Structure 1
Amino acid sequence: MSGTLYVVGTPIGNLDDMPGRAARILCSADVCYAEDTRRTGTLLARLEADVPLRSLHRHNERSRVDEILAHLARGNSIALVSDAGTPTVSDPGRLVLGAVREAGYDVCPIPGPSAILAALSISGLPADRFSFFGFAPRRGSARAAWIAELLGCPHTTIVFEAPGRVGALLEELARAGLADRHAVLCREMTKLHEEIMAGSVDELAAEWGPREVRGEVTLVFAGAPPGNEGPDLAVLMDKARHLSREGLRRREIADQLAEECGLSRNEAYRVSLRVGETPSDD
């Protein structure tokens, strides 16, 4: 007899959005692993679910793997939840899922509310193709490369950001070339103080830059206008690597890319930053 790991979606704010099947799984599970046991404890209390609760977050996920596999070997059912929405989507759980699958146990999705789809659904932007960029890297070349990719993405793009950093991100995106790009900012979706604002990135930056923001924030950006996507990133990277092998320094690479490929100086420099990050296929 072997157990099952249930990946359970939970409300992104309003507990009345709890799906019935997800509630039944949480009430019947032998053990529940949660990103924040206090927050999940509130949800379990509302459901009157008497289920043992264990933490599973980014600092202890690796150490929980053997414990979870032992539960499954005894035939126990396990519910995995995050603070809100769907586990493993910019949340812990990926390592556990990989180990559980490799060990041959069943993994069952229990879908629920999603901040990504909720924001997309009210954005008014094309939803037939979209990209999810997660959280912006905090600093350095990784952040510069992330912004460059967002700038050139031709599809609607969805981003998470911490409330204390959303103003700075919008201001940086405006400076990087997205000032006129249409965007929608969703704060505290489904909660009492839900706030949704649409406008250009420049307008959102002016509104939210000075504000002390609280709560969860999801941003949706329009894709790059047709014909303005610029050269393919892979082509630019190949060219940048070639210039690097010729001995050019990062700033010289950026200058040559800007001149030959029609990039802004900022865009060209972000590509040059990635040369040392991404190995070539040579």
Structure 2
Amino acid sequence: MALEPPERTRARWHAVAALLVLVGAVVLAHHHWPVIEAGADRLATADRGWLLVGATAAVSTWVSSALAQQGAVAQPLPGGRLVAVQFAASAANHVLPAGIGAGAVNLRFLTRCGLPVARSATALAVKTVAGAVVRGVLIAVLALACPGVLRVPHVPAVAVAIVLAVGAAIAALLSGPLRRATRAVLADVRAVHRQPARAAALWGGSLAFALLHASVVVAVTQSLELPLSPALVALAYLAASGAAALLPTPGGIGSLDAALALALTLAGSPAATAASAVLGYRLLTVWLPLLPGLLVLGLLVRRKTL
């Protein structure tokens, strides 16, 4: 009996993988359907102009993510496919926890573009570190602009000591791999910053990505006439998203929702309006683009871009 060509076998496995991801997304949407329906009903009376602004900002996040990813790589990447990959990666990220979906999609794309696996992984690490630094700076700036809003919770000294001890133990056990990984990331950072255009793309794209996500929340709150300033809403979002990153749920679903609703309520929003704002943000950034994003993911897999 003749064996199937390897290309056909790989194509079938790719199709199965894409189908499994799609089924997972449908199950996830079905599980959260009451939330989706309630958010849609409440947002039906919101200002359509502001919702359009929020939708435009949400779409622009994929372009800014592509810009940051290009900035983290010294060699040029195909621009159109890079943006499509970010769209697909955002959908995959809502199915798998802790950024695994987006990381896997981008890693596969970079290796398909000819980068070694190690270099692709360090490029993703450079982008992640830049994004974290940008978010930290934005939180600090907005906290100064809105004094007294952001309060650091009291943490017992014993808990701090335990965390530091565990961190030191892990660092000691993994000192060799951590040292090698750190050297690789620093080498890529130096290579990127030797090219001013790449450095500008990395930091500019990371800054735009954070600001655009905050702008989606601001636009939704404006559409609902929530009585908070845009700076305060942006601070609430950035602080909530930072806290939600500690809980590895798919796309922050659940953890970010709770943290953002709590942050908006503590900032002075009525609880019902805060919940509607979170639902609106999720509709624009997760539920509406989820199915198209997974279809793009399947198409990229079929075309062997991934």
TM-score, with length taken from structure 2: 0.28
Bigger Rg over Cα: 1
Structure 1 or 2: more strand by fraction: 1
TM-score, with length taken from structure 1: 0.29
The higher relative CO (CA closer than 8 Å, separation ≥ 6) is in 2
